Structure 1
Amino acid sequence: MLLNRTGGQSCAIGVMAKAPRPGRSKTRLCPPLDPDQAATLSAAFLRDTTENLLAAARMAAPDLSIIPYAAFAPAGCEALVASALAPDIRLTLADGTPTMPAGVEGFGRCLLHAVQAMLADGHGSACVLSSDSPTLPTELLVMAARHLAKPGDRAVLGACDDGGYYLLGLKAAYAAPFSDIVWSTDTVAAATRTRIAGIGLDLVELPSWYDVDDAASLQKLLTERHGYPAPHTRSTLDRLGLRMLLQEPVPATALRHSA
């Protein structure tokens, strides 16, 4: 296993990086965005999230090693994904194609694939990280790695305000946290807690944060200033004229579409 300078095991943190392509990326943001705008914003989210990972690695050093990854899909899109990332981010395929335990379906296959791949690289722990939280405070990433570096087995969960989660960290590739989950619903974090408790694994909960996956949370992004600065996201909002668009009232139909 890879060790940090004090002998502890390194923590890999991999952002789930779907290739930013119109019609395939951030589709729940359409409307109010169009597919091209959504793909461009998705790329900005990836850049900020991976720069935030590098900032976390610097913040944790020298006593703790955080190794940033992009766990990407689909296969064959490495160049497109890499073009959206900060420098020095490791790539690992996480498309969920390997054989998985019963009950691990949908996005859970990609998440478990990512954990398996990062642990197979020799890290002592691995976290999967949402690409939908570009302003996530850097210290929460460091906090997750510190909890996982402590002796004993445990999971670390960072829940989102909408019932999902922005981070899940493990020391072993347990299938249970990804089994029988109804993805993209407000029950994901609660079901994950239940699955973790079911295998007798201690759970550490991080402070909650929000993800940007619908029209209402995109509007929140415009005014929120307490987390990571997310300069690429902010400049993209300005360059595409999205601030003007998003300051307009969001039609009720758009909010229903994004729910």
Structure 2
Amino acid sequence: MSVPLLATVLVIAKEPVPGRAKTRLTPPYTAREAAALAEAALADTLHMVRHVPARRRLLVLDGAPGPWLPPGFDVAAQSAGGLDERIAAAFGLCGPGPALLVGMDTPQLTTDLFEGVGRADHDAWFGPAADGGFWALGAAEPERAATLVRGVPMSTGRTGAVQRRRLTEAGLRVSDLPVLRDVDTAADAAEVAARCPAGSRFAAALAALTETGR
């Protein structure tokens, strides 16, 4: 395995419970089906993160862990507040050294997307999402990321632009990761599943629903 460049890699997620997870997939999917897709996306993300060279892997969770959680993760509860405050609090759980946070909405992730993240020639890492948000945010000093994410308007078409601008205006050298599409709608799910690597739980779960006529 490569020498870890990251001190901590974090996943921020919501427990995949019907009626609470991936509600924008309903319709066409039922709440139970949407939760099953959310669970598969989260499982894919966590299993991928297990292979990212890092000294610590942390799941920051709204809810309770389930059988979808692989070994090798610390688990911490999400804080209260808006998403910006919850992300900031997640970075506050990191010790010293580079940290990268990813969400549970991009099961197409592969470890090669993280190559070079944590290197000393950059101060921050930013993964833009196709909907105008971001799927990854990292910093060489986690406390800087916590400070710079607070107050960013979340879940808007300009979230990513505002966040990246705050990083550069703070004088950080930003490394941009590839643009990825989040799973929010049924159309998103179909496109993302087509881009998932072999063995993807998410792609298999979506295919199973498609076979039943969804």
Which TM-score band applies after superposition, normalised by the shorter structure?
A: 0.7 to 0.9
Residue number in structure 2 paired with 1:52: 48
Residue number in structure 2 paired with 1:242: 210
Residue 110 of structure 1 pairs with residue 81 of structure 2: no
- Tell me by how many angstroms 1:125 deviates: 1.5
Q: What is the CA deviation profile of residues 122-143 of structure 1, one whole-angstrom value per residue up to 9, with x for unaligned ones? A: x5121110100001122112x2
Identity of aligned residues (%): 25
Residue 155 of structure 1 pairs with residue 131 of structure 2: no
Structure 2 residue runs without a partner (length 5+): none
User: Per the alignment, in what secondary structure is the counterpart of residue 94 of structure 2?
Assistant: helix
In structure 1, what is the Cα distance between the partners aligned to 2:199 and 2:148? 29
In structure 2, what is the Cα distance between the partners aligned to 1:243 and 1:16? 31
CA 1:88–1:47 in structure 2 vs 1: closer, same or farther (change >3 Å)?
same
The 8 Å contact of residues 108 and 181 in structure 1, kept in 2 or not, is answered as: yes
CA 1:40–1:147 in structure 2 vs 1: closer, same or farther (change >3 Å)?
closer
In structure 1, what is the Cα distance between the partners aligned to 2:39 and 2:84? 22
- Tell me by how many angstroms 1:242 deviates: 3.3
CA 1:10–1:178 in structure 2 vs 1: closer, same or farther (change >3 Å)?
closer
1:32 is aligned with what amino acid? P
Residue number in structure 1 paired with 2:13: 17
In structure 1, what is the Cα distance between the partners aligned to 2:76 and 2:140? 18
User: Per the alignment, in what secondary structure is the counterpart of residue 58 of structure 2?
Assistant: strand
User: Per the alignment, in what secondary structure is the counterpart of residue 83 of structure 1?
Assistant: coil
1:48 is aligned with what amino acid? D
Structure 1 residue runs without a partner (length 5+): 58-64, 98-104, 247-259
Bigger share in helix: 1
Q: Under a length normalisation based on structure 1, what TM-score does the superposition of the two structures give?
A: 0.73
The 8 Å contact of residues 147 and 156 in structure 1, kept in 2 or not, is answered as: yes
- Tell me by how many angstroms 1:235 deviates: 2.4
Kindly name which structure, 1 or 2, has the bigger radius of gyration based on alpha carbons: 1
The 8 Å contact of residues 161 and 210 in structure 1, kept in 2 or not, is answered as: yes
Runs of 4+ in 1 over 6 A off after TM superposition: none
The 8 Å contact of residues 12 and 104 in structure 2, kept in 1 or not, is answered as: yes
1:213 to 169, 184, 200: 184
The 8 Å contact of residues 88 and 150 in structure 2, kept in 1 or not, is answered as: no
- Count of aligned positions: 212
Residue 201 of structure 1 pairs with residue 190 of structure 2: no
In structure 1, what is the Cα distance between the partners aligned to 2:109 and 2:16? 20
CA 1:154–1:115 in structure 2 vs 1: closer, same or farther (change >3 Å)?
same
The 8 Å contact of residues 50 and 68 in structure 1, kept in 2 or not, is answered as: no
Residue number in structure 1 paired with 2:73: 89
Residue 135 of structure 1 pairs with residue 108 of structure 2: yes
In structure 2, what is the Cα distance between the partners aligned to 1:87 and 1:161? 31
The 8 Å contact of residues 108 and 193 in structure 2, kept in 1 or not, is answered as: no
The 8 Å contact of residues 6 and 117 in structure 2, kept in 1 or not, is answered as: no
In structure 2, what is the Cα distance between the partners aligned to 1:154 and 1:69? 21
The 8 Å contact of residues 179 and 195 in structure 1, kept in 2 or not, is answered as: no
CA 1:233–1:196 in structure 2 vs 1: closer, same or farther (change >3 Å)?
same
In structure 1, what is the Cα distance between the partners aligned to 2:16 and 2:110? 23
User: Per the alignment, in what secondary structure is the counterpart of residue 75 of structure 2?
Assistant: strand
Q: Under a length normalisation based on structure 2, what TM-score does the superposition of the two structures give?
A: 0.87
CA 1:15–1:84 in structure 2 vs 1: closer, same or farther (change >3 Å)?
same
The 8 Å contact of residues 128 and 167 in structure 1, kept in 2 or not, is answered as: yes
